[in-house]
Chains A and B, each alone.
Chain A
Amino acid sequence: MTSASVAGPHAYLQAQARWRRGEIAFWLATLLPLVLTPDYLVLASQVAIAGLFALSLDLILGFSGIISLGHAAYFGVGAYTAGLLSVWGWGEPLTGLLIAGLAAGLLGYVTSFIIARFHHLALIMITLGLGLLLQEAANSASWLTGGFDGLQGINTWPILQKFDFDLYGYTAYSYSLAVLFIVFLAARRLVYSPFGLALRGIRENGQRMPAIGAPVYSHIRTIYTIGAMIAGIAGALLAQTTETVSLEALGFQRSADVVVMLIVGGAGRLYGGLIGAIVYIVARDRFSGLNPQYWYFWIGLLLIAVVMLLPNGILGGLALLAQRLRAKS
């Protein structure tokens, strides 16, 4: 404590934002599947996409305290936008990603005007409702979306006209991972910015914020739009790498899954969504291999165990452990 005060205000805050060794190790480790488990690259790219999606929710739910049970709406809009672009003859992935992000961001911006004014239960209902609304709209507009059969005929062009998507998922994983890393860098910058501090203020005590002159609604609209945009990029990645989009991309199940990932990993921590996505997707893959019919039983058990034993998620538990070890030494 005293040493921290001696360090002075600037040094202390700088130390908070500094890259830690664990972080560098984490990102180096994300390259391992390319060498160690080349048979699982399709799965690995699903993990990267889910991680990106969870990161987008973390900015909203974890860092700003805005509950959402309909976050798949933005994921789905991104997926369908990228998919439709390709079906209509524009399969270039990078611009597709950008346009999909903008489309989802636009929807996020429009809905944020409603979101910013509600809390807690009302917010759960509203986000849930928005998600269902959009899913049924996509279902009934089958001339556009392919409805229940999904969107057919997506063909993603080679990335930078060079790297074609292969059957084993080398390109898919490298591409997803690269996008995840770039977006993560931006999110990390945001978290340690003045705006990131304001978001934490809203999460900690939204009622108090106006009394220090903070435009809370406007802050919430901004982060909600950014979160929707990132979710849209994640959706577009899925559409481009799997070359299919189904209604499931917009579904409630996906909205619920991403909340579970975030809570398992540790909400309000930059790596919470990423760790949660790894654990959740790998566990789902293992459990469904063990027991194709009842694998949600094990997911349920995992969820209960994590919340009971590690209320702040896996990363929260690790942080506590590190704290105890440091206190002992």
Chain B
Amino acid sequence: MSDSALAARGVNKSFGSLVVASDVELSLPQGVRYALIGPNGAGKTTLINLMTGMLRPDSGCIFLGDEDITELAPEQRVRRGLVRTYQINSLFPRLTALESVTLAVCERRRIARTFWRQLTAYRHEIDEAHDILSALTLAPVCHRPTRELAYGQQRLLEIALALATRPKVLLLDEPAAGVPREESKELFAAIAGLSRDITVLFIEHDMELVFRFASRIIVMVGGGVLTEGTPAEIAADERVRAVYLGKGHGALRS
């Protein structure tokens, strides 16, 4: 049908009289690094919830590649390669980092139902989890319970968990939220270093990071897509300027 990795077709959602998604049309080509921006309450996180199945749209369809996934449960979408992270850390506090990521690997390889063999028998899965953590500089703390990790490390663990599912499309909801500026650059460098086979969409408020790491930008306002284009096009767009200046978010620079 199309060469897009992920697409939304005419997606609508409202809670009572509050419209949180109005006729959203979106198509992410394979391998791009998309930034999703917009003022608070524009419906960015809602859109991620709709695409990953945490919310059901009132109307419209979600496509992953050529497959209509609108009816699928969140975990079924994850198994097909559509994976998200959370704006607020949503981790397993008393599992160690290695245990958490090993769990995600085991779920992907469908061995998490096995209760008659010891976990330690699955050496490949443990190695894979450890490699993912190493790549994100978490190997030295991989035996610590998640709740004892520094905040920035927990943000990285969010991404490690997502990577362990081998995503085709990765939706990052403010991956650097709450992380100091210097660290957030490192975090985005890690995201930029991901394989080009993975299509990435991230929500981010820091325009410097957006313009540095996004190859294309989507602007949302009031539950709908205002415009979509390259960073240069977005920076030059009067409507975007108006939205941001009007809301007092500071000027856009490229």
Q: Which residues of A contact B (CB under 8 A)?
A: 1-2, 4-5, 9-10, 12-14, 17, 189-190, 192-198, 200-201, 204-205, 207-216, 218-219, 222, 226
Query: Contacts A194-B106, A204-B95; is A210 near B74 (CB within 8 Å)?
Result: yes
A195 & B114 in contact (Cβ 8 Å cutoff): yes
Cβ-defined contact, B118 with A198, below 8 A: no
Point out the residue from A1, A9, A193, A216 that lies within 8 Å of B118, measured CB to CB. A193
Interface residues on B, range: 35 or more
Which of B38-46, B86-94, B212-220 binds A?
B86-94
Contacts of A210 in B (CB 8 A): 73-75, 78
Mark the stretch among B25-33, B121-129, B183-191, B246-254 that contacts chain A.
B121-129
B154 at the interface (CB under 8 A from A): no
A214 near B143 (CB under 8 angstroms)? no
Stretch at the interface among B15-23, B97-105, B231-239: B97-105
Q: A10-B123, A12-B143 are in contact. Are A212 and B115 (CB under 8 A)?
A: no
Partner of B115 from the list A2, A4, A195, A214 (CB cut-off 8 Å) is A195
Q: How far is the CA of A200 from the CA of B91 in the complex (A)?
A: 12
User: Could you tell me the distance between the alpha carbons of A154 and B214 in the complex, rounded to whole angstroms?
Assistant: 75
24 A-B contacts, Cβ less than 8 Å apart?
A5-B142, A10-B120, A10-B126, A12-B143, A13-B119, A13-B120, A192-B118, A192-B120, A193-B114, A193-B117, A193-B118, A194-B106, A194-B115, A200-B94, A200-B99, A201-B100, A205-B93, A210-B75, A211-B52, A211-B75, A211-B90, A212-B161, A212-B165, A213-B79
Distance A208 CA – B164 CA, assembled complex (angstroms): 14
> What distance in Å separates the Cβ of B154 from its nearest Cβ neighbour in chain A?
13
Q: Which B152-206 residues sit within 8 Å CB-CB of chain A?
A: 161, 164-165
Taking a contact as CB atoms closer than 8 A, the residue among B86, B93, B113 that contacts A219 in the complex is B113
Q: Which residues of A contact B106 (CB under 8 A)?
A: 194, 197-198
User: Which residues of chain A have C-beta atoms less than 8 A from B141's C-beta?
Assistant: 1, 5
Task: Judge whether B95 and A17 touch: CB under 8 Å.
Answer: no
- Does residue B241 face the partner (Cβ distance < 8 Å to A)? no
Q: Which residues of A contact B113 (CB under 8 A)?
A: 194-195, 198, 218-219, 222
Q: A189 → chain B, closest Cβ, in Å? A: 6
Cα distance, A209 to B142, chains bound together (Å) = 20
Interface of A is mostly: helix
* B48 CB, nearest partner CB in chain A, Å: 11
Asked if B136 is at the interface (CB within 8 A of a chain A CB), the reply is no
- Contacts A9-B127, A193-B119, A200-B95; is A211 near B83 (CB within 8 Å)? yes
Q: Are A201 and B103 in contact (CB under 8 A)?
A: yes
Contact with A along B42-58 (1 / 0, CB 8 A): 00000000001000000
- Contact partner of A215 (CB less than 8 A), chosen from B75, B117, B161, is B75
Inter-chain contact A200/B92, CB cutoff 8 Å: yes
Most buried by B among A2, A190, A194, A207: A194
In the complex, what distance in Å separates the CA atom of A190 from the CA atom of B102? 16
Contacts of A226 in B (CB 8 A): 115
Given A189-B118, A194-B119, A210-B75, 9 more A-B residue pairs with CB atoms under 8 Å apart are: A9-B126, A190-B116, A197-B102, A201-B100, A205-B91, A211-B75, A211-B90, A216-B75, A226-B115
A204 touching B83 by the CB < 8 A rule? no
Looking across the interface, which residue of chain B has its beta carbon closest to that of A212? Answer: B104
Contact (Cβ within 8 A) B108 A213: yes
Contacts of B118 in A (CB 8 A): 17, 189, 192-193
A190 to B83, CA, bound (A): 28
Instruction: Flag if B115 contacts A204 (CB, 8 Å).
Output: no
Question: Is there an interface contact between A204 and B108, defined as CB atoms closer than 8 Å?
Answer: no
Give the complex CA separation of A209 and B161 in angstroms.
10
Contact partner of B116 (CB less than 8 A), chosen from A10, A17, A189, A208, is A189
Known: A9-B98, A214-B112. A197 touches B126 (CB 8 A): no
